[in-house]
Structure 1
Amino acid sequence: MTLLFLSALLAVLAFVLTELLRRYALAYSLMDVPNERSSHSAPTPRGGGVAIVLVYVLGLFIARESDLAVASDVLWALVGAGGFTALLGFLDDHGHIAARLRLLGHFAAAIWALYWLGGLPPLVFLGSEWRLGWLGHVVAAFYLVWMLNLYNFMDGIDGLASCEAICVCVSAALLCAASGMPSGNIVLPLLLAASVLGFLLWNFPPAKIFMGDAGSGFLGLILGILSLQAGWMRPELLWGWLILLGVFIVDATYTLLRRLFRGERVYEAHRSHAYQFASRHYRRHLPVTLAVIAINLFWLLPIAMLVVTGWLEGVLGLLLAYSPLCLLAWRLRAGMPENSVAKDQSGAK
């Protein structure tokens, strides 16, 4: 089975399964009801991200049996960690799991993935290769858990998390192709992009179904795993992946740190991410989602390509890519209390 045919098949399956999940959510009242912390105004079915999980896992096994160069260790890292994370999210979508238990489960999933991957790959920093040993394993575990949670935080407006995943995966495949990596490194992100595409057709603004914790947590963890796996193939690819993920990493991390420094309870729900302020400013989700796509394709991808092709040092490329994103987060008042920003804006008028 060719990669193109399998990708098309997964997109169609994800589209059909998302519609079935939408009907299930409507039948059993699994709705995301708007509240003061929401960025939408109408009750909307949730849990559609389960389609992404099931279709991607199916695609991995088909690819493995079709000789599309999917290694066993990477397969079990993705299926085991991703499947467990999705199950936790699914249970949380249908009820409630205490935050501490969820976090414990997230670290368990990260440790499982790192066992199969071999931990944190070597880091190339200013021409030197660094192997961090056990400290690297700890750093990698926190990185995966943060990726899982930040993707959950950033899944707040129509189409944003889906478009981000597709842009990052397709761009990562281009990076692998440009650096001459084995085909397996191209297969993994492209199959994920195809799985998300089928869901996106229902989630693009205005969304008819939301991803839910099962889908967003799964995507964040899988993207983190794929970035580490690419780093084992070639260290520059890890820098490339981190650059491609810049929009989500910068917005979520900047917002968290700013709220933390102000003494807020960072685990409480809020609407102070940069993308949330932007969507309220434009009173629509679509302009923000399209802007993120543009940033990914016309800013982050070219810088990442310069890094993996050897024209730019990895850490310098990361600083170049992230600097305007940090400035944009500051400009949009990310991490500031929503009521204070509203007062400032009304006073400016």
Structure 2
Amino acid sequence: MPLSLSDNSPFIAAIIVAVLAFVACVLILQTLLRTGLAWRLATDIPNERSLHERPTPRVGGWGIVPAAAAALLVCAPSMWLIAVCVLFLAAVSLIDDRRGLPARVRFAAHFVAVIAVIVAHPAAVPWWALVVIGFLMLWLVNLYNFMDGSDGLAGGMALFGFAGYAAAALAGPAPAPAFGLGLASVGIAGAAAGFLTLNFHPARIFLGDAGSISLGFLAGALGYWGWQHGVWPIWFPALVFAPFIADASVTLVRRLARGEKFWRAHREHYYQRMVRMGFGHARTALVWYLFMAAGIILANGALHCSLSMQWLAVAGWAVVVVAAGAVVDARWRRHETRRSEQL
């Protein structure tokens, strides 16, 4: 039976769900590694654009997606369509991880999943607003994939981001939709933590498209669901995942301005530049964890403020994110200048 407020306190229920999702993810991934199946399913071979140096299995999605889908179906049965869509995206992405798929096929799958959720659960807003929301959800699906390129980064962002969702949904006297959303978010965060035990530097396993695409979709779909059901304002999901959104968006705009194909692999993201400047994978991940944790604390705190104060918090955090990017840009220019002088 689905979990409800009468079964346990939200805190106890959340611990149970998190532990179960964590254990399930770790058991699946450890089994894949110990049997050698992980390398046969999908292996990332380093190239000139990679930040790693040895072949690594990218099957993190095999552990995260089943645990996340189970959390949705058990804790929030009304969100069954989101669970079905994430399984669909994972299946398509698994094929892409193994054999490669044309970009148009991948994007079509993303489009179908996002449209299915919006059409099945339309918000009471003008049609053009739903179009904008659908576009933003599609962007979140893909930017999560773009940001999966450094040990511990995408997994850690999932852990913090969905924990932030859970904190907001479970914070007050939650009605059934918020309670189910909160427990489902806890389950996804628990699965991400399980994956992170094998992905933090030095990574033994990578997320892969099946993991990154699925997590990006879940971040958008749960964010949309929470807004539609009045759990949080529309700005909340964007603020929770602000560092990821900002890095991927700025990098995309820069590449498009240069006429480059944005879906091609590269090493120009802010996190990639931090690793290349000498921060290393572990320090880069920890900096991002602190940065994202600060944004999540701010987002959850702002929920209890007036509307004007909420948007002031959003604007203030945007300034902080832009300033952080400017610092990395400045250090990168100095790094490149020193390199050119040494050549």
Report the Cα distance in structure 2 between the residues aligned to 1:153 and 1:344, rounded to whole angstroms: 27
Which letter does structure 2 place at the counterpart of 1:75? Answer: W
Report the Cα distance in structure 2 between the residues aligned to 1:170 and 1:228, rounded to whole angstroms: 16
- Per the alignment, residue 75 of structure 1 pairs with 80
The Cα offsets for residues 31-82 of structure 1, whole Å up to 9 and x where unpaired, read as 211111101111111112221001211233333xxxxxx242x222x21221
Report the Cα distance in structure 1 between the residues aligned to 2:62 and 2:271, rounded to whole angstroms: 24
- Per the alignment, residue 7 of structure 2 pairs with none
Q: Does 1:346 align with 2:339?
A: yes
Asked if the contact 1:155/1:161 (under 8 Å) is kept, the reply is: yes
Does 299-308 or 147-156 show the bigger shift? 299-308
Q: Does 1:43 align with 2:55?
A: yes
Cα distance change on mapping 1:165 and 1:212 into 2, 3 Å: same
Which letter does structure 2 place at the counterpart of 1:105? Answer: A
Unaligned regions of 5+ residues in structure 1, if any? 64-69, 122-130
Which letter does structure 2 place at the counterpart of 1:176? Answer: A
Asked if the contact 2:169/2:231 (under 8 Å) is kept, the reply is: no
- C-alpha RMSD over aligned residues: 2.3
Report the Cα distance in structure 1 between the residues aligned to 2:20 and 2:232, rounded to whole angstroms: 32
Deviation at 1:146, TM superposition (A): 0.6
Does 229-238 or 144-153 show the bigger shift? 229-238
Alignment of 1:105-254 (within 5 A): 105-119=109-123, 131=125, 133-178=126-171, 180-182=173-175, 183-234=179-230, 236-254=232-250
Report the Cα distance in structure 2 between the residues aligned to 1:269 and 1:20, rounded to whole angstroms: 30
Asked if the contact 2:67/2:187 (under 8 Å) is kept, the reply is: no
Deviation at 1:238, TM superposition (A): 2.9
- Per the alignment, residue 127 of structure 1 pairs with none
- Would you say how many aligned residue pairs link Structure 1 and Structure 2? 326
Deviation at 1:193, TM superposition (A): 0.5
Asked if the contact 1:47/1:210 (under 8 Å) is kept, the reply is: yes
The Cα offsets for residues 163-204 of structure 1, whole Å up to 9 and x where unpaired, read as 101111112222233454332231121111111111111111
Deviation at 1:236, TM superposition (A): 4.2
Cα distance change on mapping 1:247 and 1:180 into 2, 3 Å: farther
- Per the alignment, residue 94 of structure 2 pairs with 90
Asked if the contact 1:44/1:210 (under 8 Å) is kept, the reply is: yes
- Per the alignment, residue 23 of structure 2 pairs with 12
- Per the alignment, residue 125 of structure 1 pairs with none
- Per the alignment, residue 8 of structure 2 pairs with none
Asked if the contact 1:25/1:45 (under 8 Å) is kept, the reply is: no
Which letter does structure 1 place at the counterpart of 2:54? Answer: A
Report the Cα distance in structure 2 between the residues aligned to 1:235 and 1:5, rounded to whole angstroms: 22
Which letter does structure 1 place at the counterpart of 2:158? Answer: A
Which letter does structure 2 place at the counterpart of 1:94? Answer: R
Which letter does structure 2 place at the counterpart of 1:245? Answer: F
Which letter does structure 2 place at the counterpart of 1:81? Answer: C
Cα distance change on mapping 1:266 and 1:190 into 2, 3 Å: same
Report the Cα distance in structure 1 between the residues aligned to 2:106 and 2:29, rounded to whole angstroms: 25
Deviation at 1:105, TM superposition (A): 1.2
Report the Cα distance in structure 2 between the residues aligned to 1:80 and 1:173, rounded to whole angstroms: 21
For residue 107 of structure 1, give the secondary structure of its aligned residue in structure 2.
Answer: helix
Asked if the contact 2:44/2:56 (under 8 Å) is kept, the reply is: yes
Asked if the contact 1:179/1:308 (under 8 Å) is kept, the reply is: no
TM-score normalised by length of structure 1: 0.86
Deviation at 1:237, TM superposition (A): 3.5
Cα distance change on mapping 1:5 and 1:303 into 2, 3 Å: closer
Cα distance change on mapping 1:235 and 1:316 into 2, 3 Å: farther
- Per the alignment, residue 301 of structure 1 pairs with 296
Q: Does 1:276 align with 2:272?
A: yes
Cα distance change on mapping 1:348 and 1:320 into 2, 3 Å: farther
For residue 329 of structure 2, give the secondary structure of its aligned residue in structure 1.
Answer: coil
Deviation at 1:21, TM superposition (A): 2.6
Deviation at 1:209, TM superposition (A): 0.5
The Cα offsets for residues 188-242 of structure 1, whole Å up to 9 and x where unpaired, read as 2111111111111111111101110000000000011111111122274332221
Report the Cα distance in structure 2 between the residues aligned to 1:225 and 1:27, rounded to whole angstroms: 31
The Cα offsets for residues 77-118 of structure 1, whole Å up to 9 and x where unpaired, read as x21221111111101001011001111111011011112332
Unaligned regions of 5+ residues in structure 2, if any? 4-12
Report the Cα distance in structure 1 between the residues aligned to 2:131 and 2:338, rounded to whole angstroms: 42
For residue 331 of structure 1, give the secondary structure of its aligned residue in structure 2.
Answer: helix
Which letter does structure 1 place at the counterpart of 2:102? Answer: A
Asked if the contact 1:11/1:197 (under 8 Å) is kept, the reply is: yes
- Per the alignment, residue 330 of structure 1 pairs with 326
